[in-house]
Amino acid sequence: MRRLLFLTIVVVALTGCSASQLAGTESPTSTSGGAPSAAATTAVTEASGADVQVVMTYVLPFKSDMGGGGVQIIVAIKNQGDGVAKVGGMDSETWTLYGKDGTVLKTGDLTPAPQFLAAGETGYLLGWTNFSDDAQFTQVDKAEPSITFSEADNVPPETIKAEKVVVRPDEYKIWLEATGTVTNVGTEKVTLGTLAIVLFDAKGAPLGWLQDSTSVMGLLPSQKKGFSTNFGFVPASVASKVKTFGIYTYELAL
């Protein structure tokens, strides 16, 4: 059984801060997004089996010194049912970004982190877009996610393990960068998978995310390789606000 949820959104703006190496520690995979700054309106359904609901949608604009800037979208979700939920599949989670006048600015896809949620577990959906000029960037207002989920028998065993993960400003102090290793701890070659890192402030609210899919694709059983990514393009100035981060690695189930 699949269900579709449509939500209204809260915009969260980030202010710049000095670039410094993160002193935060890794958070468990099931790290909660913490108390949102305002209540979100969600579609409420009776809990029976899996029941994924949106807790909050965050719109995080990062202005560029060269004009325009990037916008991250983070949707905090929770399985409020008593069964296991599988959150969508490839390209089935989407977002629509609106301007202050109500017009649609852009649309795009959301990546689950993680894809399967046990009863009571919190997860995230991650999106990104970019504006090349200030005119559209300053019009960014809110985002609306479209989410599907289905019931699953269980949470699949972990097949990709991330270790020695560090998040810090890159050598040019422009973006935050995540480095570490990924290992295929399963028995089959990884075809499609992802590594996502969600960054949190001291109160557990999301500040941004980083992602790498290329390092996990094609991993053979027992193979380990290093990774380095700044995709998501979180400014290095956010570093001093980050206190913890959640690591989500999985092989995509279509």
Domain assignment of residue 21, yes or no:
no
Q: Kindly tell me if the per-residue pLDDT of 1 is higher than 90.
A: no
Query: Residue 63 in contact with residue 138, Cβ under 8 Å?
Result: no
Residue among 118, 103, 117, 34 nearest 74 (CA): 34
Same domain? 60 vs 185 = no
Q: In this predicted structure, what is the pLDDT of residue 245? A: 98
90-118: per-residue pLDDT in tens? 678 999 999 999 999 999 999 999 999 99
Distance CA(249)–CA(219), nearest Å, equals 13
pLDDT classification of 88: cutoffs 50, 70, 90: confident
Q: Is 170 helix (H, G, I), strand (E, B) or coil?
A: coil
Domain assignment of residue 88, yes or no:
yes
User: Of all residues in the chain, what percent carry a pLDDT higher than 70?
Assistant: 81
Same domain? 43 vs 146 = yes
Q: Kindly tell me if the per-residue pLDDT of 42 is higher than 70.
A: no
Same domain? 109 vs 173 = no
Domain assignment of residue 197, yes or no:
yes
Same domain? 179 vs 144 = no
Same domain? 11 vs 105 = yes
124-138: per-residue pLDDT in tens? 999 999 999 999 999
Which pTM does this prediction carry? Answer: 0.82
Using the 3D structure, point to which of 152, 171, 198 is the last residue of a domain.
152
Same domain? 41 vs 59 = yes
Q: In this predicted structure, what is the pLDDT of residue 44? A: 40
Domain assignment of residue 177, yes or no:
yes
26/196: higher pLDDT: 196
Same domain? 133 vs 110 = yes
pLDDT classification of 58: cutoffs 50, 70, 90: very high
Residue indicated by tokens 């999106």: 127
Using the 3D structure, point to which of 119, 152, 185 is the last residue of a domain.
152
Same domain? 180 vs 87 = no
Q: Which domain holds residue 64?
A: 3-16+31-152
Helix, strand, coil % over all residues of the chain, rounded to 5: 5, 50, 45
Q: In this predicted structure, what is the pLDDT of residue 18? A: 35
Same domain? 138 vs 239 = no
Q: In this predicted structure, what is the pLDDT of residue 166? A: 98
Q: What total of structural domains would you count in the chain?
A: 2
Query: Residue 210 in contact with residue 199, Cβ under 8 Å?
Result: yes
Query: Residue 226 in contact with residue 177, Cβ under 8 Å?
Result: no
Q: In this predicted structure, what is the pLDDT of residue 116? A: 98
Distance CA(35)–CA(203), nearest Å, equals 7
Same domain? 42 vs 165 = no
CATH number, domain of 71, equals 2.60.40
Please compute the mean of the pLDDT values over residues 75-84 and round it to a whole number.
98
Using the 3D structure, point to which of 152, 180, 202 is the last residue of a domain.
152
Query: Residue 160 in contact with residue 180, Cβ under 8 Å?
Result: no
